[in-house]
Amino acid sequence: MYSVYRFKDLGFKVISSKIIPGLMEGVVSQRNGYHGEDIKKMWLAYSHLSVEEASIGYEVEIIL
């Protein structure tokens, strides 16, 4: 979600968004600690995001 706001601040427009299954798998496995405790701890800062929210990919375009 942070990246969407950052893109908008930089002058981009969101064209579309969708949940990316492969990204969702990665989010789940990282949150569960399968990639090490350091990665699992990193996700604590994003615990307010659901797995679905953390798995959204965005298509953006620059506004000229």
pTM comes to: 0.78
Provide the CB-side half-sphere exposure for 10 (13 A, CA).
11
- DSSP annotation of 29: H
- Tell me if residue 58 falls in helix, strand or coil: strand
The token duo for 21 is 């299954």
Domain count, the chain: 1
Would you say 62 and 8 are in contact if contact means Cβ atoms under 8 Å apart? no
Domain that holds residue 13: 2-62
Work out whether strand 56-62 and strand 12-19 pair parallel, antiparallel, or are unpaired. Answer: antiparallel
* pLDDT number for residue 40: 97
Residue that the structure tokens 């990919």 belong to: 57
Identify the band that residue 5 occupies on the pLDDT scale cut at 50, 70 and 90.
confident
Tens-place pLDDT, residues 19-49? 999 999 999 999 999 999 999 999 999 999 9
